[in-house]
Amino acid sequence: MKNAKIDTDIAQNSHPGRYWHALDDGRVQCDLCPRACKLHDGQRGLCFVRAAHGGEIVLTTYGRSSGFCIDPIEKKPLNHFLPGTPVFSFGTAGCNLTCKFCQNWDISKAREFDVLADQASPEAIAKAAHDMGCKSVAYTYNDPVIFLEYAVDVAKACREKGIKSVAVTAGYISPEPAKEFFSYMDAANVDLKGFTDDFYQNLCTGHLADVLDTLVYIKKETNVWLETTTLLIPGQNDSAEELDAMTKWVVKNLGPDVPMHFSAFHPDWKMRDIPNTSIATLKRARDIAIKNGVHYAYTGNVHDFDGESTYCHGCGQILIGRDWYELSTWNLDHDGKCNKCGEKCAGVFEDHPGTWGAKRRPVRMAKYATA
Ligand code: SF4
Ligand SMILES: [Zn+2]
């Protein structure tokens, strides 16, 4: 892909990228994700934001964002990581998967740079998050693995201020960069988009095995708090057999304490001929997960008090009640244990719930941009 506007953008916004090597034929190969794009100078990778420039791979979105917003942490979704607290959220542009059902395509498929209107240094983001009382910063809206260098620098700046980092990602990243990326994250919600390679190949042009490798890596080799999300698309990834296989795999390979979210699809992007997911389908997925031993399974994007709330897997009492993103009940003691039977609830908890509620507050970064 070559045109003057794009060439200018690359030249003006080239931050040195990591994870690449030169090929004998003069091209450079990006080694950040399993796509391994091989690029001539001036060419962009499939993710659009990494490009070959001056014999190297560069990141073209360092310090450029598609917007900043304070959200409830439950919206990421993370139900077992500092519940009730506000999370400072931002993303850039581009994506390294091509999901036909993308629910965020205005950002992930952005080919115009107007979406990158907000400029912010890592220090500015950390300061803004801190000043606004956020416990964490989320790399979200588009997949942060493709802007690894920016995300890692933001995470470092946040750590210095005691602010945690949360990755919302499809987990489509190669093993070496995954080590660096997740070493700076405190929590992650990883999409497990389906449980067949056909699904990943046909609808996302990716491979299931790479995502499973990332999930196992996070769970077994890091201290990152992990939850998964599956967007259930009618007729595509919602059969009882597929969900049975998926949830059994999760329990066997990640353990019973990784919360699973099953969320509702709405017709979007290139899949407008498929209906919304029914609440019955979401409840069925949650039931299958629980039957197979998942301790914490949730329905998402729908109003369903039972499916949104957290239950003690020891005694069954409700531990955290949720009404959309509003917490209604809190039955954890100061150690994150059930106050009735003493069973530990898996997760990262403070001794009291946050009080942010369901608010979504856009943030104008201009006053922090030069921090
Ligand atoms: S991160 Fe982007 S440029 Fe690199 S291999 Fe993946 S899609 Fe290609
Ligand atoms: Zn209990």
In this structure, which amino acid lies at residue 318? I
Question: 222-255, pLDDT tens digit by residue?
Answer: 999 999 999 999 999 999 999 999 999 999 999 9
Instruction: Find out whether the beta carbon of 177 lies less than 6 Å from any atom of ligand 1.
Output: no
Question: 79-133, pLDDT tens digit by residue?
Answer: 999 999 999 999 988 999 998 888 777 766 665 555 666 789 999 999 999 999 9
pLDDT recorded at residue 177:
98
Closest CA to 308 of 87, 140, 80, 70: 80
User: Which bound ligand lies closest to the C-alpha atom of 43?
Assistant: 1
For ligand 1, the distance from its centroid to the CA atom of residue 144, given in whole angstroms, is 12
For ligand 2, the distance from its centroid to the CA atom of residue 332, given in whole angstroms, is 9
Token digits for 177?
Answer: 């960069």
Instruction: Find out whether the beta carbon of 30 lies less than 6 Å from any atom of ligand 1.
Output: yes
Residue 12's pLDDT band, with cuts at 50, 70 and 90, is confident
pLDDT recorded at residue 262:
98
pLDDT recorded at residue 294:
98
**Nearest-angstrom CA–CA distance, 284 and 293:** 14
* Contact by Cβ (8 Å): 61, 94: yes
Question: To test the ligand 1 pocket, which listed residue (146, 148, 205, 207) has its Cβ within 8 A of the most ligand atoms?
Answer: 146
- Full-prediction pTM beyond 0.85? yes
Instruction: Find out whether the beta carbon of 28 lies less than 6 Å from any atom of ligand 1.
Output: no
Residue 53's pLDDT band, with cuts at 50, 70 and 90, is very high
pLDDT recorded at residue 366:
79
Rounded to a whole number of angstroms, the distance between the first and last alpha carbons of the chain is 36
φ, ψ for residue 135, nearest 5 deg: -85, -20
pLDDT over 90 for what percent of the chain? 81
Instruction: Find out whether the beta carbon of 170 lies less than 6 Å from any atom of ligand 1.
Output: no
Question: 329-365, pLDDT tens digit by residue?
Answer: 999 999 999 999 999 999 999 989 999 999 999 998 8
pLDDT recorded at residue 272:
81
Instruction: Find out whether the beta carbon of 49 lies less than 6 Å from any atom of ligand 1.
Output: no
For ligand 1, the distance from its centroid to the CA atom of residue 129, given in whole angstroms, is 29
pLDDT recorded at residue 116:
67
pLDDT at 370 over 60: no
Instruction: Find out whether the beta carbon of 44 lies less than 6 Å from any atom of ligand 1.
Output: no
For ligand 2, the distance from its centroid to the CA atom of residue 358, given in whole angstroms, is 26
* Contact by Cβ (8 Å): 101, 52: no
pLDDT recorded at residue 1:
47
Question: To test the ligand 1 pocket, which listed residue (19, 23, 46) has its Cβ within 8 A of the most ligand atoms?
Answer: 46
pLDDT recorded at residue 365:
84
pLDDT recorded at residue 367:
73
User: Which bound ligand lies closest to the C-alpha atom of 18?
Assistant: 1
Which DSSP category does 114 fall into?
G
For ligand 1, the distance from its centroid to the CA atom of residue 105, given in whole angstroms, is 18
pLDDT at 181 over 50: yes
pLDDT recorded at residue 13:
85
Provide mean pLDDT across the span 318-329: 94
* Contact by Cβ (8 Å): 222, 180: no
